[in-house]
């Protein structure tokens, strides 16, 4: 059996399954794996809204389950198992995550939501390798997810309740078990059936193969390091119109492109593609090549947003490429190229029925979504892209050149820009703030304050979250007149709106509104040190003893994956600062009892109390 050598890599290891699920135990036992069952005690109370995608939530839950078991076994025996496997299965329909029902009514609610519809089943899996060093537990986590599409038939109320009363739904994600009576509810399955049962065995074995069987050096030259086609394909997009690509060309690589066996032809005099470390040659710099191609992926995303592609597929998908091209009034060949690249980037899915949005695209790239980031994408495309194309002069002549590239002028101590650019900037900040505002508002208990002033509060998203979390709090949004003038278009109704007011002004020149708590969210990083100290001095002077200052910023010492974001932003703004630097800044300006907390994955929040002068 092909999978036996892979499973065999674990045969002489102490393997623990951190799950009480009999279905997972059966799947792994049937595959020949020997393991101990230690159910996890991890409380599954992660905040779903803090995750960008449902599968990210499932993977994090799986990881926490496994880590809890590893830690508990290490504390008990002063030694850890070799491998701990954690898994979490969720059902997702319409961006809503369904887990196990709590009672029959909850099961009915879930099954009614699934009735007659397609939904996705995600299983997140974490493989935790453990070792003990000097009495300390060290872990290395590998994680992945699998998605399967399931369609329910149109079911009668009588059938739903008959199934619920059987008791089967009560311990199963989404309220059904496909491997038992729940199978009669299902019209079709696209993907891994065992993933719906509770464990994606095939993907698990592939992950084991990746971990225990690294690729042979002679195979490395066959690995494709760029999912974005070469630049010269832009010149030939019209050649694919209606009749497909020229038989003498590759639709992906242009003339002389990829051969039938997957290898690319090599230009005369080019280095051997198999730079694999053999014969003293350096390894292939895959990460560097990916970095060089990164701008292509961004431009594809921006173009798809500009064409409202994700809106179309949210409302009408799945659609064939030719139908999408017709609706966009665009070239069929170019449209299909764009769609296929979006598939490669994980933004779209392609099936026999056509192209459709992934969950993350519907959630964050459709313009009417509650968590849409389309405003941010449009701003980056229209303005920030221009900044980075002028990076050379900015480096040589000073960072202020980037403001000129944006069409921004400094007038009388503050930045001014066109009305349209201001509106685009506000849309971008509105999109981003919707992801972070709740985390900022709840990072600390702010119930002791009765009034707050959000300086540079833009569209008032954070003000709304503060008013919603703290019913006694009156919130003032203080921003430039051109911003407050346009802020009305971003407001929604609701009782908390009555406790929010917008006041125009410049926080460098005008008197600051009185408040118990002043808030600076993503503000300090935008200014050089002299302006920063001027602003903090003005806030300190306005803040009464016992009042507070809440600062939310991207932190400088994030891990590499997250820290790249604030450092890139620093090219057109100020430098990112660490929580300790923010703590020192607040203390320098008269704030004491300075505390730091995380606000989701993007920000750190710092809270200080104004000392008696």
Residue 259 has a pLDDT of 37
The pLDDT assigned to 565 comes to 45
pLDDT of 522-543, one tens digit each?
A: 888 778 788 889 999 999 999 9
pLDDT, position 199? 95
Ramachandran quadrant class, 574 (left: phi over 0; alpha: psi -120 to 50; beta: rest): beta
How many angstroms separate the CA atoms of 59 and 57, rounded?
6
- pLDDT cut 90: percent of the chain above it: 32
Alpha-carbon distance of 537 to 549, in angstroms, equals: 12
Q: Mapping DSSP to helix (H, G, I), strand (E, B) and coil, where does residue 576 land?
A: coil
73's enclosing H/E stretch is helix 54-77
Ranges 7-16, 182-191, 393-402: which has the least confidence: 393-402
Distance CA 282, CA 289 (A): 14
pTM: 0.49
Query: What pLDDT, on the 0 to 100 scale, is given for residue 229?
Result: 47
- Per-residue pLDDT, 385: 77
pLDDT of 273 above 90: no
Q: What is the rounded average pLDDT of the residues 281-306?
A: 83
The burial class, CB within 10 Å (0-12 / 13-18 / 19+), for 466 is buried
Residues annotated as part of the active site:
88
Does the pLDDT value for residue 213 go beyond 80? no
pLDDT band at 279; cut points 50, 70, 90: low
Of the candidates 137, 149, 144, 46, the one whose C-alpha atom is nearest the C-alpha of residue 99 is 46
Band (pLDDT 50/70/90 cuts) for residue 555 is low
Structure confidence at residue 405 (pLDDT):
42
Residue 253: name the closest of 272, 226, 275 by CA. 226
Flag whether pLDDT at 440 surpasses 70.
yes
Banded model confidence at residue 394, pLDDT cuts 50, 70, 90: low
Write the DSSP assignment of 504-539 as a string of letters. Answer: E--TTTSPPPP-SEEEEES-GGGS-HHHHHHHHHHH
pLDDT > 70 fraction of the chain, expressed in percent and rounded: 79
Helix (H) or strand (E) holding 119: strand 118-133
How many C-alpha atoms does 32 have within 13 Å on its Cβ side? 13
Per-residue pLDDT, averaged over 16-39, amounts to 93
Strand partners of residue 502 = 477
- Which domains are delineated in the chain? 3-214 (3.90.950.10), 290-375 (1.10.10.10), 420-558+566-610 (3.40.50.150)
The tokens describing 392, both together, are 């050379």
Q: How confident is the model at residue 418 (pLDDT cuts 50, 70, 90)?
A: low
Q: How many helices (H) and strands (E) does the chain have?
A: 22, 18
Cα(35)–Cα(12) distance, integer angstroms:
10
pLDDT category at 550 given cuts 50, 70, 90 is very high
Q: Which strands form 517-521's sheet, in the order they lie side by side?
A: 500-504, 474-479, 451-455, 517-521, 548-553, 603-610, 591-599
Sorting pLDDT into bands at 50, 70 and 90, what band is 66? very high
What is the C-alpha to C-alpha distance for residues 239 and 233, in angstroms, rounded to an integer? 10
**Chain-centre distance for alpha carbon 471:** 31
Pairing between β-strand 186-190 and β-strand 548-553 as defined by DSSP bridges: unpaired
For residue 599, list its beta bridge partners: 603
Average pLDDT for 132-153: 88
pLDDT value at 490 more than 50: yes
- The pLDDT tens digits for 251-260 are 333 333 333 3
More confident residue, 107 or 6: 107
């Amino acid at each position: 059996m092909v999978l036996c050598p892979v499973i065999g890599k674990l045969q002489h290891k102490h393997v623990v399954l951190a799950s009480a699920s009999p279905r997972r135990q059966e799947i792994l036992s049937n595959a020949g794996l020997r393991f101990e069952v230690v159910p996890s005690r991890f409380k599954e109370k992660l905040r779903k809204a803090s995750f960008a995608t449902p599968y990210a939530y499932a993977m994090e839950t799986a990881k926490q389950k496994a880590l809890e078991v590893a830690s508990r076994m290490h504390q008990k025996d002063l030694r850890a198992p070799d491998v701990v496997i954690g898994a979490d299965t969720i059902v997702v329909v319409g961006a809503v995550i369904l887990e196990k029902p709590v009672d029959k009514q909850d099961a009915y609610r879930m099954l009614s939501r699934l009735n007659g519809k397609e939904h996705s089943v995600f299983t997140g899996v974490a493989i935790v390798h453990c070792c003990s060093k000097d009495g300390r537990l060290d872990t290395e986590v590998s994680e992945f997810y699998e998605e399967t599409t399931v369609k329910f038939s149109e079911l009668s109320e009588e059938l739903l309740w008959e199934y619920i009363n059987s008791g089967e739904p009560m311990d199963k994600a989404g309220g059904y078990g496909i491997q038992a009576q729940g199978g009669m509810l299902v019209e079709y399955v696209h993907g891994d059936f065992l993933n719906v049962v509770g464990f994606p065995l095939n993907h698990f074995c592939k992950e084991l193969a990746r971990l225990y069987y690294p690729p042979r050096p002679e195979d490395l030259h066959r690995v494709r390091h760029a999912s974005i086609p070469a630049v010269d394909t832009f010149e030939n997009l019209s050649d694919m119109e209606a009749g497909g690509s020229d038989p003498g060309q590759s639709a992906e690589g242009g003339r002389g492109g990829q051969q039938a066996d997957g290898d690319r032809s090599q230009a005369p005099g080019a280095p051997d593609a198999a730079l694999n470390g053999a014969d003293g040659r350096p390894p292939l710099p895959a990460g560097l090549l990916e970095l060089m191609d990164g701008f292509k992926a961004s431009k594809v995303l921006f173009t798809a947003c500009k064409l409202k592609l994700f809106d179309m597929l949210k409302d009408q998908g799945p659609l064939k490429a030719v139908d999408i091209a017709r609706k966009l009034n665009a070239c069929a060949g170019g449209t299909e190229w764009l769609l296929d690249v979006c598939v490669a980037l994980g933004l779209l899915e392609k099936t026999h029925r056509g192209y459709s949005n992934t969950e993350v695209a519907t959630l964050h790239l459709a313009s009417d979504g509650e968590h849409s980031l389309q405003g941010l994408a449009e701003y980056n495309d229209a303005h920030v892209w221009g900044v980075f194309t002028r990076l050379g002069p900015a480096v040589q002549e000073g960072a202020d050149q980037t403001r000129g590239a944006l069409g921004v002028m400094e007038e009388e101590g503050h930045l001014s820009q066109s009305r349209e650019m201001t509106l685009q900037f506000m849309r971008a900040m509105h999109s981003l703030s919707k992801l972070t505002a709740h985390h900022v508002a709840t990072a600390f208990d702010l119930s002791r304050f009765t009034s707050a002033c959000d300086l540079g509060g833009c569209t008032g998203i954070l003000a709304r979250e503060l008013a919603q979390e703290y019913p006694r709090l009156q919130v003032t949004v203080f921003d430039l007149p051109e911003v407050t003038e346009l802020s009305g278009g971003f407001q929604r109704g609701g009782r908390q709106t009555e406790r929010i007011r917008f006041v125009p002004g410049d926080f460098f020149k005008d008197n600051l509104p009185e408040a118990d708590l002043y808030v600076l969210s993503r503000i300090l990083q935008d200014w050089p040190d002299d302006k920063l100290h001027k602003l903090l001095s003005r806030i300190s002077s306005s803040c009464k003893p016992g009042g507070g200052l809440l600062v939310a910023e991207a932190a400088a010492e994030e891990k590499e994956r997250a820290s790249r974001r604030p450092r890139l932003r620093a090219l057109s703004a100020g430098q990112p600062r660490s929580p300790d630097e923010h703590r020192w800044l607040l203390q320098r300006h008269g704030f004491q009892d300075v505390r730091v907390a995380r606000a989701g994955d993007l920000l750190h929040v710092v809270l200080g109390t104004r000392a008696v002068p």
